[in-house]
Amino acid sequence: MTSMTAATGARPAAKAATLALAAICTLLVLAGCGTAHPKPLPSGSLAEARTFPYFPVYWVGRNFDGHPLAAADGLRNYVPLIGDSVYYGDCVQGEGIFGGGNCELPLQVTTVVYALHSNAGLGVQRNTLVRGVPAAVYDEGRAIELYTGRLAIDIFSDSFAHALQAADELRPMNAPGSATADLPLPVYCPGLSGKVDAQVQQAMERLPGHVCRYTRAEKAYIKAVDKRS
């Protein structure tokens, strides 16, 4: 959590928040972002978002903790390096973005095709299992990145409780799936940074095709070749 993207490297939370804020306020400008609550996403726009063709895009349904789904990137606003996002709530908090205060969306969920990278750039983080898959919690708990299939799902929220709640409610909006089942295991080895406890390590070693073992061997080989050259 945009989208704090995992496409070409670890995405800092600030970049994701800026992109989320710009996108949501652009989409909601006619509704008065920062001055009025937007209406829920119209059925036509939702239908367009639910036909996104490239990969499963995750959401938490039409509402999250009382906040309606306000915008969705869909195919029209899709940027491969950033991913495809859905946005809940608006910028009406305190004075709002146009009143000198801080504007933080209650929830943004971004789905992006994962590219191998290190999570070191995410800053202080905790590695854990969420919905049966490896995940990194960062930005003081307000952001969670989950690794599933060939994708990463970034959750950006205003608190750890809300981020974790969103993780528990994730399901695909354009493909079959359930919010009650574990997420599909990643087919790659996530570039976790920092302490990895025994439970997470065991889960990483059980990934399909022993992908983490092969990833370590490949890195060791590249390192050895670099030393010789």
CA distance 175 to 178: 10
Retrieve residue 226's tokens.
């670099």
Residues 6+ apart with CB under 8 A from 125: 119, 136, 137, 138, 193, 194
Q: Is the pLDDT of residue 212 over 50?
A: yes
Q: Give the pLDDT confidence score for residue 105 in this predicted structure.
A: 84
pLDDT for 214 equals: 85
pLDDT number for residue 20:
46
* Span of 35-49, 126-140, 208-222 with lowest mean pLDDT: 35-49
Q: Are 41 and 70 in contact, with CB atoms under 8 Å apart? A: yes
Locus of tokens 């910028």: 91
Amino acid present at 212: C
> Which of the four pLDDT bands, split at 50, 70 and 90, describes residue 37?
low
Confidence of residue 84 (pLDDT cuts 50, 70, 90): very high
Distances (CA, A) of 128 to 12, 35, 75, 133, 162: 19, 38, 32, 8, 17
For position 41, what pLDDT does the model report? 83
Strands 125-130 and 171-172: unpaired
Q: Copy the structure tokens of residue 27.
A: 């989409």
Alpha-carbon span 144 to 160, nearest angstrom: 9
- What radius of gyration, in Å, describes the C-alpha atoms of the chain? 18
To which residue do tokens 């209406």 refer?
39
pLDDT of res. 2:
40
Give the chain's length: 229
Bridge partners (DSSP) listed for residue 113? 151
Helix (H/G/I), strand (E/B), else coil: 126: strand
